[in-house]
């Protein structure tokens, strides 16, 4: 993988803009992302959380944010995975996920969880996780909004 570098303060605004440019996130979600990345640098909220930025030829092309799930043993959660919209479908997301899985496996993780929307807009996202051998564990009906279910996926490590 090209340069994968730990999140810095100067990455936050560009990563929020990168996420916005995908067209996948609502304004409220982008605000939450800004807070999550700020808290990650401050060591607040989720103990052990990490965010890593993918750089290619001096440009941020994606990032992954993950953390141990609170009050669990060996369970981790990928909270954010974003790849530049113009570069999706070329293996970057899969490589970032494999890297994150290996990183947490080395820390004793036994499972990784992800959650995503059940709307049509997220069909490719769900297929992506399924292709990476994440198994659908459940559906929380209308979790995000009326007509917008949460789909929970798990992969044993």
Is the pTM above the cut of 0.85? yes
- Helix, strand, or coil (residue 6): strand
Q: Please report, rounded to a whole number, the percentage of residues in the chain having pLDDT higher than 70.
A: 97
How far apart CA 138 and CA 36 sit, in angstroms, is: 25
Q: Is the pLDDT of residue 2 over 80?
A: no
Do residues 67 and 48 touch, judged by C-beta distance below 8 A?
yes
- The predicted-structure confidence for 49-98, as pLDDT tens digits, reads as follows 999 999 999 999 999 999 999 999 999 999 999 999 999 999 999 999 99
- Helix, strand, or coil (residue 43): coil
Residue 103: C-alpha distances to residues 14, 30, 157 (Å): 24, 26, 11
CB-count burial class (<10 Å; 0-12, 13-18, 19+) for 94 = middle
Q: Is the pLDDT of residue 1 over 60?
A: no
Query: What CATH class has 3-156?
Result: alpha beta
Confidence of residue 47 (pLDDT cuts 50, 70, 90): confident
Token pair in block for residue 134 = 């994440």
How far apart CA 57 and CA 2 sit, in angstroms, is: 9
């Amino acid at each position: 993988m090209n340069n994968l570098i730990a999140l810095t303060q100067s990455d936050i605004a560009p990563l929020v803009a990168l996420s916005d440019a995908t067209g996948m996130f609502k304004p409220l979600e982008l605000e939450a992302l800004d807070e999550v990345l700020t808290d990650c640098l401050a060591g607040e909220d989720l103990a052990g959380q990490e965010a890593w930025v993918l750089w290619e030829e001096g440009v941020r092309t994606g990032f992954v944010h993950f953390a141990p799930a609170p009050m669990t043993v060996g369970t981790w959660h990928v909270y954010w995975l974003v790849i530049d919209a113009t570069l999706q479908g070329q293996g970057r997301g899969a490589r970032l996920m494999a890297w994150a899985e290996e990183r947490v496996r080395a820390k004793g993780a036994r499972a990784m969880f992800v959650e995503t929307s059940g709307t049509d807009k997220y069909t490719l996202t769900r297929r992506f996780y399924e292709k990476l051998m994440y198994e659908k564990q459940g559906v929380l009906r209308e979790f995000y909004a009326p007509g917008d279910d949460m789909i929970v996926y798990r992969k044993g490590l």
